[in-house]
Structure 1
Amino acid sequence: MYSHKKSPLVWFSHITVLVLVVLWTIPTFGLLVTSLRDKDQIVASGWWTSLSTSTQNLIYRTPGEAGQTEEDGLYINTGNALEDGAGKVSRFGTSSLRPQEFEVGQTVDLDDGMQLTVEENGDYRLTSPESFGRRGERIFVTAEIPPRFTFENYRNVLTAEGIGQSFLNSLTVAIPSTIIPVLVAAYAAYALSWMKFPFRNLLLAIIVGLLVVPLQMSLIPLLKMYNAIGQTFDVPAKTYVGIWLAHMGFGLPLAIYLLRNYIAGLPRELMESARVDGANDFMIFNKIILPLSYPALASFAIFQFLWTWNDLLVATVFLGNSEQTIVLTARLRELLGSRGGNWEILTASAFVSIIVPLVVFFALQRYLVRGLLAGSVKGG
């Protein structure tokens, strides 16, 4: 009896794919968890501890004279040093040099006859024989804080000024910058596959060579050329047309290469039968090639859209950072820069920026593998 056994190479391939999936999934999941955590807990501990309590050093300032009451000749300030009263205080202090100087429940003497008591639940009582000042006193507490999850990070990002306009600007850049190269490359790929003309193979070799040209090397010459044309025809420099043309130029080599491999692998009998029926190249392309090329078109459209949506360099060069044209990636960069090193803003911004690419990917992913493998195997 014959038993089919998988070769070691197949098992190695499966394990490698599984490892790669895990290596990509874990950081993404950690980023998502971090974006939903309280900003203080993000700094205090890693995302893998998000379901356990974390030890945090907090600073609380009493309201001073604005929150004082008078009782038996003493001025009193009371309240809770923990946010929302959640957590358990283990130590407290009144100086940044000694934040864990006292035990909870202990009454300590401060300057000018003031006394301070901090309880385990965060409640404090501060008394003074004289009226408190406007700024109040600082209380340093070390507390065990339970897990806290919030949508406040996303609320801060989504309600930031200009986010909506930047979102529309990114769509205005990404959609035409995806459609235009796909259409141009489809025509070029058909010509390189099934039309006879001089230097066809040389042209194909040049296109393949352009795949390895770095964007940074060609960006400045392209910008100079575009500005020269704009000055000649009196066209504004910072326009959407410029960035559409730039993305088209950078995306065409890969698009033509992928689509040419796919179209060249289509059965020759289809084209010959169409020519016998009197169809010309334009009719063959529109009636036969395009309907059969949806997998290859969709696979490149995914890559092109992801690149143009996440692009920052080309958008900054060709559009600038004006309020009318700034894209989402540039807006989120400015938002992060204005907030210093706030990790909660960075993580929430990252997930806001990938929402649209995820929708595009899952909508077209069934064509992705078919399009990438197109032309790798030809039937006899």
Structure 2
Amino acid sequence: MTGGAAPAASAPLPAPEAAPEPGPGPGKRGDGGIHRSLASRIAGRTGGGAVAVGLVLVALFWMMPTFGLLVSSLRSPQETGTSGWWKVFTEPGQMTWDNYDRLLSDDDMMRAFFNTIWITVPSTVLVILIGALAAYAFAWLEFPGRDWLFLIVVGLLVVPVQVALIPVSQLYGDVGLFGTIAGVVLFHVAFGLPFAVFLLRNYFAGIPKDLLEAARMDGGTDLTIFFRVILPLGRPAIASLAIFQFLWVWNDMLIALIYADNDSAPLTVALQSQSRAFGANIEVLAPGAFLSLIVPLLVFFAFQRHFVQGVMAGAVK
């Protein structure tokens, strides 16, 4: 071979360096564990069976007065006056249905019970219907002054009931509604609407706009969209509102005590009048109080699933 120098052999590439072993980063121990604060360790252990047992015991303790009222309503007045309700655990033969027989045969208490239904059911239905219509308008309809009107509705939430007692009494006296069931219902509807509009409007505003636009493209009117789209999708919020309104009206005594007379008084007023002679009519007072308690409890359990969905709505996007 003649001529220039031979080409130099290419130098071998250096071997890639091994990646360093991951060291203990922030918040980690050298053995791969994780440093946990004392609070996190306590929180991690609170999901065990001991905590569940403790919560069950708290729930049982919380329900004890209700159970005691039930047992007292099933005992005779003589036994109730001489011993505590826990005596039934040793003498279960004390329990009888005689008190409920007397309650059902008491015309005043039965009239008060049905008055409570005539007051509570219309007050709840009207608040839901009117509040849902207004909430749909505030959420999806465009009209002048919409935002200002909604702010006024929200501002009405802070108006206490006591402020309107005297003016509404004068108004009811002028129009002839004082001492009637209709007057009590209208008062509850008027003071229940601000919360209803506020709750339902915020829920309806979260409904996807595409659903409403698709309904409009199919020729749906506002009423059709409201009844066929808004109400089915808003069922959790409506159920939550129904529970709140029902419990508020059913347990109310202040409004009924002022605006209802003896013929239109609900069960709370009747029980209040019976409690003045507690020692003489415990056989009517105890079952009446339990009847007043068990109805809203059954309503809550009937709508419990929808109520939980309504409370959690909007918590997760």
* CA shift in 2, pair 1:9/1:341, >3 Å: farther
Q: Distance in 2 between matches of 1:17 and 1:255?
A: 33
* Secondary structure in structure 2 of the residue aligned to 1:50: helix
**What is aligned with 1:316?**
257
Cα deviation, 1:76-124, whole Å, max 9, x if unaligned, reads xxxxxxxxxxxxxxxxxxxxxxxxxxxxxxxxxxxxxxxxxxxxxxxxx
Q: Distance in 2 between matches of 1:250 and 1:313?
A: 13
Q: Distance in 2 between matches of 1:297 and 1:264?
A: 14
**What is aligned with 2:212?**
271
Say if 1:262 and 1:293, in contact at 8 Å, map to a contact too. Answer: yes
**What is aligned with 2:6?**
none
**What is aligned with 2:148?**
202
Q: Distance in 2 between matches of 1:252 and 1:41?
A: 47
Q: Distance in 1 between matches of 2:256 and 2:44?
A: 44
Cα deviation, 1:117-173, whole Å, max 9, x if unaligned, reads xxxxxxxxxxxxxxxxxxxxxxxxxxxxx9622223323322223233222222211
**What is aligned with 1:77?**
none
* CA shift in 2, pair 1:161/1:284, >3 Å: closer
**What is aligned with 2:222?**
281
Say if 2:184 and 2:260, in contact at 8 Å, map to a contact too. Answer: yes
* CA shift in 2, pair 1:338/1:372, >3 Å: same
Q: Distance in 2 between matches of 1:223 and 1:371?
A: 36
CA RMSD, 1 decimal: 3.2
2:84 is aligned with 1:46: yes
Q: CA deviation at 1:265?
A: 1.4
Cα deviation, 1:251-283, whole Å, max 9, x if unaligned, reads 112211221122111111111222333433332
2:286 is aligned with 1:347: yes
2:46 is aligned with 1:8: no
2:69 is aligned with 1:31: yes
* CA shift in 2, pair 1:264/1:21, >3 Å: farther
Question: In structure 1, what residue type is equivalent to 2:143?
Answer: F
2:272 is aligned with 1:326: no
Report 1:1-380 matches (<5 A).
8=43, 11=46, 18=56, 21-52=59-90, 148-228=94-174, 230=175, 235-322=176-263, 325-338=264-277, 340=279, 342-377=281-316, 379=317
Say if 1:51 and 1:147, in contact at 8 Å, map to a contact too. Answer: no
* Secondary structure in structure 2 of the residue aligned to 1:354: helix
Q: CA deviation at 1:189?
A: 0.8
Q: Distance in 2 between matches of 1:172 and 1:330?
A: 15
Greater helix share, structure number: 2
Say if 1:321 and 1:330, in contact at 8 Å, map to a contact too. Answer: no
Say if 2:115 and 2:181, in contact at 8 Å, map to a contact too. Answer: no
Paired residues, number: 277
**What is aligned with 1:124?**
none
Q: Distance in 2 between matches of 1:327 and 1:171?
A: 8
- 5+ residue gaps in structure 1? 54-145
**What is aligned with 2:22?**
none
Say if 1:336 and 1:345, in contact at 8 Å, map to a contact too. Answer: no
Cα deviation, 1:210-231, whole Å, max 9, x if unaligned, reads 3333322322223323334x1x
* Secondary structure in structure 2 of the residue aligned to 1:238: coil
Say if 1:31 and 1:347, in contact at 8 Å, map to a contact too. Answer: yes
Cα deviation, 1:18-49, whole Å, max 9, x if unaligned, reads 57633431221122122223333333333334
Q: Distance in 1 between matches of 2:105 and 2:55?
A: 39
User: What fraction of aligned residue pairs are identical, expressed as a percent?
Assistant: 44
Length-normalised TM-score, structure 2:
0.75
* CA shift in 2, pair 1:160/1:10, >3 Å: farther
* Secondary structure in structure 1 of the residue aligned to 2:262: coil
Length-normalised TM-score, structure 1:
0.63
Question: In structure 2, what residue type is equivalent to 1:311?
Answer: D
* Secondary structure in structure 2 of the residue aligned to 1:162: helix
Greater strand share, structure number: 1
Question: In structure 2, what residue type is equivalent to 1:22?
Answer: L
- 5+ residue gaps in structure 2? 1-32, 34-39
* CA shift in 2, pair 1:6/1:196, >3 Å: farther
Q: CA deviation at 1:184?
A: 0.4
Q: Distance in 2 between matches of 1:22 and 1:202?
A: 48
* Secondary structure in structure 2 of the residue aligned to 1:376: coil
Q: Distance in 2 between matches of 1:189 and 1:10?
A: 44
Q: Distance in 2 between matches of 1:6 and 1:38?
A: 53
* CA shift in 2, pair 1:269/1:240, >3 Å: same
* Secondary structure in structure 1 of the residue aligned to 2:94: coil
Question: In structure 2, what residue type is equivalent to 1:316?
Answer: L
Question: In structure 1, what residue type is equivalent to 2:233?
Answer: L
Q: CA deviation at 1:6?
A: 9.7
